[in-house]
Amino acid sequence: MSVGRAIPHDSAELHVSGEALYCDDIPTPSNTLHAAFGISTIAHGRVREMDLSRVGAAAGVVMVATPADIPGENNYGSVVHDDPIFADGLVQYAGQPLFAVAATTYRAARKAASLARVEYETLPAILDVRSALAAESYLMPSERIVRGRPHERLAQAPHRLRGSVTIGGQDHFYLEGQIALALPQEGGGMLVHSSTQHPTEVQSIVAHALGTSAHAVSVQCRRMGGGFGGKESQAALIAAAAAVIARKTGRPTKLRLDRDADMIITGKRHDFVADYDVGFDDRGRIVALTVMLASRCGYSADLSAAVNGRALTHVDNTYFLEHVEVISHRCKTHTVSNTAFRGFGGPQALVVIEQVMDEIARSLSLDALDVRRANFYGVGERDTTYYGQKVEDNVIHEITDRLERTSRYRERRAEVAAWNAGNTVIKRGLALTPVKFGISFTATQFNQAGALVNVYSDGTVLLNHGGTEMGQGVHIKVAQVVAAELGVPLAAIRITTTDTSKVPNTSATAASSGSDLNGMAAQAAARTIRLRLVDYLCEKHDVAPDEVLFADGSVTVGARRLSFREVVAAAYLARISLSSTGYYRTPKIFWDKAAMTGRPFFYFAYGAAVSEVAIDTLTGETQLLRVDILHDVGASLNPAVDIGQVEGGFLQGVGWLTSEELYWNERGQLRTYAPSTYKIPAASDWPAIANVALLERAPNHEETIHRSKAVGEPPLMLAISVLHAIRDACAAALPAGAAIDLPAPATPEAVLRAITPLAPRVFA
Ligand code: MTE
Ligand code: MOS
């Protein structure tokens, strides 16, 4: 059977041979225009005058598009309509598109875009979270979840600590930048090829921008060169601007962002600050906790409500918090509007609670692992989250026990201590951190999916579903499911471009739910066809349904054995429909917005990692020496793809927490907009020793697709172990008992500052 096997990604060979088609590779008609944005240079202000005459007169320019050229709504905001495609008078971040210019070549368009003369009336700008908090500059109402009597219990707790956590943002740095190609069709139609995680939303926003209806717009995406959340809402801006120009000029229009434009114009992971107050007992068990979370949402709502909602429900991680209050502020700043990014607010919440655990352990001189374990959700007791969902699938005890043994955590703890006692320059650190992550979109309505399966009379199968491929392997997994359902070899199935005209009203491929949702929908479609064939065969051969079996490309009908192809060809002649849609919606989930309780997640995914690092106390540089990971994916649909997701997610998290630093100057301009100044991990940052394993014999207790679990986002949070290993090494470099003031990302500068608290500050 195809399900559960380690099968290579369907496009693996195409990726490495260069044959895989990305948006930019689609052959374009000869009259195609190339577009570029003209952007604001100030963070907040009014446009007093915008002189675009030099832009329009530049060589090769065919059109300059401003709000006046948008036939419909000048907006690409999905949840709240507060994202103009082109700023109309009011500028709210440095980098905001003011206009777009279309020319016969891409170079001509970019060159022309820089020729605009814009005069602004500058307004005061709020640029970071602390300033926004001080000014109470919020985009939307703050939210709060409280259980028990946290303030009263804090006052009575045997021990109490207060602290703050600083967590930086992150650029998605997908290798393929944002891009769309809009092709005008007859009768006012528009076909858009978009590098998007959310074709349906691009369809609806393009339709609104053009002042037309959904049925006039088709959006297609064969694959993305990475999305990571950055192409969930942001892709609509690019597609809408391209479509507006295509409509006005009647010519195909491609809009592609170069790396600098992409980093400056589009949203990133939310940076957070948090203040906590925790009470605990002698063993380090938390008695009561209050947490204030505040995130930089940027100038508009985008997906910030959902991102912060996920943060609000992930402060517990794997820990039972009895008396707790979590407050979430969604700060409005005059910076780019932040958006979805792998983990969607969850990772930031986990960083907060893990720092709390670490601080408790240090204050009691206990091993941090013992404190973490003492706080774990129990099995059958102390098992209800502070938002009312019971943790019914807790495997964190098993994962931690096994990982502690296989990584030789205790022995290596002693080895690290011995190393640190004998070495003054290079210090080592070790940490084990756990992960629990809720699976489902927190907005219940998004937890639905559709698929279309066509069986042709030669026995081959065309598979279409609402999920988009961004490298994560959703297509191969869904194809495996369909192959298993029809009992055909994987080679019989062809995966096609995601297309709003084949499967409508889809959700974003996000929240790690791509194969959970689309796998179920495609299975339902394939099952409908199989059951039609079973009916037909039973009648024709006078057998009972349980005498018909589909496997290995054959169909056993009683004593007969036919090929799938023969059966299908005969069924066609007998006028049996060989095409079906399929649909799925996640059961059991609900959320009471007023009470802030419910069951937002169908189930939880778990994992843990042990990381060991070395820091150079003279330069602050760090090196990840070894990582051991044990991660829970239920009954894996494809262990090869899942291991890839675990490794990739982990290293992307390491980048976020150690090297990727976004820096805005005092005028709110992003200064780190290229790989020269914004450092993502390279292959050489992968540790010399890495033991990555999936938790075996742990099928999902819920009825998910073949009892698998989602894997896309949770492994990113395994990287928190690296941040804590660095903290541990910093502690070894500091006098015993000294506070560790280490923000994320723990860049060399940050590490150096943390271990030399009394040194003069060269960097601000
Ligand atoms: N893996 C690759 N290679 N590229 C990506 O862009 N995105 C991540 C994750 N893994 C991503 C990836 C994010 S943010 C999510 S939500 C999931 O994949 C989405 O896909 P899935 O739901 O099919 O897991
Ligand atoms: Mo992933 S952040 O949910 O696209």
pLDDT, tens only, 511-521:
999 999 999 99
Q: Give residue 761's pLDDT band: very low, low, confident or very high (50, 70, 90).
A: low
307 ligand 1 Cβ < 6 A: no
Select which of 325, 485, 661, 713 is catalytic.
Answer: 713
Ligand nearest to the CA of 474: 1
Instruction: Point out the ligand 1 atom lying closest to the alpha carbon of residue 473.
Output: 23
**Which H or E run includes 481?**
helix 474-486
Instruction: Point out the ligand 1 atom lying closest to the alpha carbon of residue 174.
Output: 6
pLDDT number for residue 764: 45
Question: Taking 80 as the threshold, does the pLDDT of residue 763 lie above it?
Answer: no
- Report residues whose beta carbon is within 6 angstroms of any ligand 2 atom: 197, 229, 232, 340-342, 344, 510-511, 713
**For 160-168, what is the mean pLDDT?**
98
- Please spell the DSSP secondary structure of 534-571, one letter per residue: HHHHHHHHT--GGGEEEETTEEEETTEEEEHHHHHHHH
* Catalytic status, residue 713: yes
pLDDT number for residue 78: 87
Q: How far is the CA of 142 from the centre of ligand 1 (A)?
A: 29
pLDDT number for residue 757: 76
Instruction: Point out the ligand 1 atom lying closest to the alpha carbon of residue 512.
Output: 22
**For 98-125, what is the mean pLDDT?**
98
Residue nearest to ligand 1 atom 10, measured at CA: 712
343 ligand 1 Cβ < 6 A: no
Q: Give residue 379's pLDDT band: very low, low, confident or very high (50, 70, 90).
A: confident
**Could you tell me the two tokens for 637?**
């649909």
Q: Give residue 242's pLDDT band: very low, low, confident or very high (50, 70, 90).
A: very high
Q: Give residue 759's pLDDT band: very low, low, confident or very high (50, 70, 90).
A: low
Q: How far is the CA of 228 from the centre of ligand 1 (A)?
A: 6
The amino acid at residue 419 is W
Reduced to 3 states (helix: H, G, I; strand: E, B; else coil), residue 736 is coil
- Residue 504 has a CB neighbour count (10 Å cut-off) of 16
Reduced to 3 states (helix: H, G, I; strand: E, B; else coil), residue 184 is strand
Rounded-to-integer distance, Cα 630 and Cα 435, Å: 10
Question: Taking 80 as the threshold, does the pLDDT of residue 599 lie above it?
Answer: yes
Residue nearest to ligand 1 atom 1, measured at CA: 472
Rounded-to-integer distance, Cα 730 and Cα 757, Å: 11
Greater pLDDT, 98 or 737: 98
pLDDT number for residue 10: 97
User: Could you read off the pLDDT of 560-592 as tens digits, one per residue?
Assistant: 999 999 999 999 999 999 999 999 999 999 999
User: Could you read off the pLDDT of 389-415 as tens digits, one per residue?
Assistant: 999 999 999 999 999 999 999 999 999
Alpha helices for 487-550 (secondary structure H): 514-541
**For 112-128, what is the mean pLDDT?**
98
Rounded-to-integer distance, Cα 238 and Cα 35, Å: 10
User: Could you read off the pLDDT of 19-51 as tens digits, one per residue?
Assistant: 999 999 999 999 999 999 999 999 999 999 999
User: Could you read off the pLDDT of 602-634 as tens digits, one per residue?
Assistant: 999 999 999 999 999 999 999 999 999 999 999
pLDDT number for residue 739: 93
Q: Give residue 424's pLDDT band: very low, low, confident or very high (50, 70, 90).
A: very high
Which pairing describes strands 138-147 and 253-256: parallel, antiparallel, or unpaired?
Answer: unpaired
User: Could you read off the pLDDT of 485-520 as tens digits, one per residue?
Assistant: 999 999 999 999 999 999 999 999 999 999 999 999
Q: Which of 165-169, 440-444, 747-751 has the lowest mean pLDDT?
A: 440-444
Rounded-to-integer distance, Cα 100 and Cα 245, Å: 8
Q: How far is the CA of 434 from the centre of ligand 2 (A)?
A: 20
Greater pLDDT, 761 or 291: 291
Q: How far is the CA of 649 from the centre of ligand 1 (A)?
A: 9
**For 678-699, what is the mean pLDDT?**
96
pLDDT number for residue 676: 96
pTM value is 0.98
Largest Cα–Cα distance in the chain? Answer: 89
- Please spell the DSSP secondary structure of 659-701, one letter per residue: T----B-TTS-B---STTTS----GGGS-SEEEEEEPPS---S
User: Could you read off the pLDDT of 528-548 as tens digits, one per residue?
Assistant: 999 999 999 999 999 999 999
Mutate to test the pocket of ligand 1, among 11, 512, 642 (most ligand atoms within 8 A of CB): 512
**For 302-314, what is the mean pLDDT?**
98
Please say whether the beta carbons of 521 and 447 come within 8 A: no
Rounded-to-integer distance, Cα 486 and Cα 484, Å: 6
Instruction: Point out the ligand 2 atom lying closest to the alpha carbon of residue 713.
Output: 1
Question: Taking 60 as the threshold, does the pLDDT of residue 229 lie above it?
Answer: yes
**Could you tell me the two tokens for 396?**
């964190």
Share of the chain above pLDDT 70, in %: 99
Vertex 751, ends 658 and 746: CA angle to 5°?
Answer: 20
pLDDT number for residue 760: 61
- State the chain's mean pLDDT as an integer: 97
Reduced to 3 states (helix: H, G, I; strand: E, B; else coil), residue 166 is strand
